[in-house]
Amino acid sequence: MTTPSNAPRHKASNKTLQIRHAPHLASGMSVDQIMRNVVVALLPVSAFAVYVFGLAAALVLGTAVASCVATEQMWCRARGQHSTVGDWSAVVTGLLLGLTLPPSLPLWMVAVGGVGAVGIGKLLFGGLGGNPFNPALVGRALLQAAFPVAMTTWPSKRGALGTLFPSTLTPPFCKPAYDTVSGATPLADWKFSQISVSTSDLFIGTTTGSTGETSSLLILLGGVFLIARGMMSWHIPVAILLAVAVMSSGLHAWDPARFASPQFMLLSGGLMLGAVFMATDPVGSPMTHLGCVIYGVLIGALVVVIRVWGGLPEGVMYAILIGNAVSPHIDNWVQPRAYGTGRLPHV
């Protein structure tokens, strides 16, 4: 048998080798990358908001993002920690908060909301990953409680690209000035005056409402983008929308005069934005697919209940906050069944 020569053919490297633990490969996914992708998915919605409501919408979004990022930066500096702004979660929170606010909201109130969202909603609970509730919705709930009139006053007409609403630049702690005629959202119209808006207007987004909630089309596109990139699972939005569709279809079939049609329920208000971008916040949602479906159905049912029987025209914010509160319990009920243990339902 002939054997190859055993004379060394190459000189061994003198380099120091790393000793690492396995695995020596990684998917390359990172938290900041996911957050940046959410921002990208929200850009069309934000751009459309500026197109519909004008410069005021851009200022609301900008103020919300800036106040969120500044709050996180100052918190980290005050506590002598490394800045966590680089994870981009404050930017996402700010953008989401801005998109849920009326475009004519005075900017100082927007800033208060941003400070509340990141400060109370996230940092007090230990930062990213520790927040039980969606921080943007905490900020919005704070504003809803503090400024109920400003938070439910909507501009009646579309803003031109270069104009502001009279209320936008209200100085802090002053009563905002509004146009003599203020508008109502399609949901409020339906609830209090039984006026319905065309489905296509709702889908495209040329109605009044919060800055970023009007265009269902662009919100869905953003969601499809995130799901296609593997950064979001489809279970939660689909469960919420299906639950709303099924429940409102049943009610509408029973009494069409009293209950709005399912397409109106699905496309109006903050449902799309909430289902696609708010309820899917991984921190506040369950971990298993079954858990996500339960959570989604719960939120969808609460949205319909609040809208139909509640005192408010819109209930997406409260539905999601309640969902966030229940989420850890759902996780306890539906743990995955470990391989080789008992015969429990497959999740």
Partner 1 sequence: MNIFRRHPKTFAHGIHPPEHKDQTNSLPIRQFPFAPALIVPLKQHIGNAAVPVVREGQEVTRGQLIAEPDGFVSVALHAPSSGIVRRIGLAPSITGEMRPAIFIEPFPASTQERLEGEPCDVETATPSEIIQAVQQAGIVGLGGAGFPSHAKMQVPEGKFIDTLIINGAECEPYLTADHRVMLEQPQDVILGVRYLLKATAASKAIIGIEANKQDAADSLRAAIPDGAPITVEVLPVKFPQGAAEMLIKVLLGREKPTGARAADIHTLVFNVTSTSEIGRLLPHGAGLQERVITISGSAVRDKGNYRIAVGTPIRFVLEQVGLADDVSCVFLGGPMMGQALSSLDIPVMKDTLGVVALTERETGPLATRKEYACIRCAACVDACPMFLNPSQLGLLAKHGQFERMQDELHLSQCFECGSCTFVCPSHIPLVHDFRIAKAALWKARASA
Q: Are 175 and 150 in contact (CB under 8 A)?
A: no
DSSP codes, 163-180: ---TTTTPPTTSPPP--S
Residues 230-259 within binding reach of partner 1 (CB under 8 A): 233
Does position 26 bind partner 1 by CB under 8 A?
yes
Total H helices, total E strands in the chain: 13, 2
Residue 18 CA neighbour count, 13 Å, CB half: 4
Q: Are 37 and 231 in contact (CB under 8 A)?
A: yes
Q: Is the CB of 80 or the CB of 340 nearer to partner 1?
A: 340
Fill in the per-residue mask, 182 to 221: x = in contact with partner 1 (CB under 8 A), - = not in contact. ----------------------------------------
- Distance from C-alpha of 127 to C-alpha of 253, rounded to nearest angstrom: 46
Q: Is the CB of 15 or the CB of 79 nearer to partner 1?
A: 15
| Amino acid in position 99 | L
Does position 27 bind partner 1 by CB under 8 A?
yes
Q: Which of 43, 81, 129, 195 binds partner 1 (CB under 8 A)?
A: 129
Q: Which of 60, 97, 123, 128 binds partner 1 (CB under 8 A)?
A: 128
Sign of the CA dihedral 289, 295, 298, 300?
A: negative
Does position 9 bind partner 1 by CB under 8 A?
yes
Integer CA distances (angstroms), 69 to 101, 260, 261, in order: 18, 40, 40
Does position 130 bind partner 1 by CB under 8 A?
yes
Residue 24 phi, psi dihedral angles, 5° rounding: -95, 10
Region of 17-25, 142-150, 152-160, 310-318 interacting with partner 1 (CB under 8 A)? 17-25
Fill in the per-residue mask, 267 to 286: x = in contact with partner 1 (CB under 8 A), - = not in contact. ---------------xx-xx
Residues 107-126 within binding reach of partner 1 (CB under 8 A): 126
- Distance from C-alpha of 241 to C-alpha of 184, rounded to nearest angstrom: 24
Q: 10 Å Cβ neighbour count for 78?
A: 8
Region of 10-18, 69-77, 110-118, 294-302 interacting with partner 1 (CB under 8 A)? 10-18
Residues 285-314 within binding reach of partner 1 (CB under 8 A): 285-289
Query: Residues interacting with partner 1, by CB under 8 A?
Result: 1, 3-6, 8-13, 15, 17-27, 29-34, 86-87, 126-130, 233, 282-283, 285-289, 335-341, 347
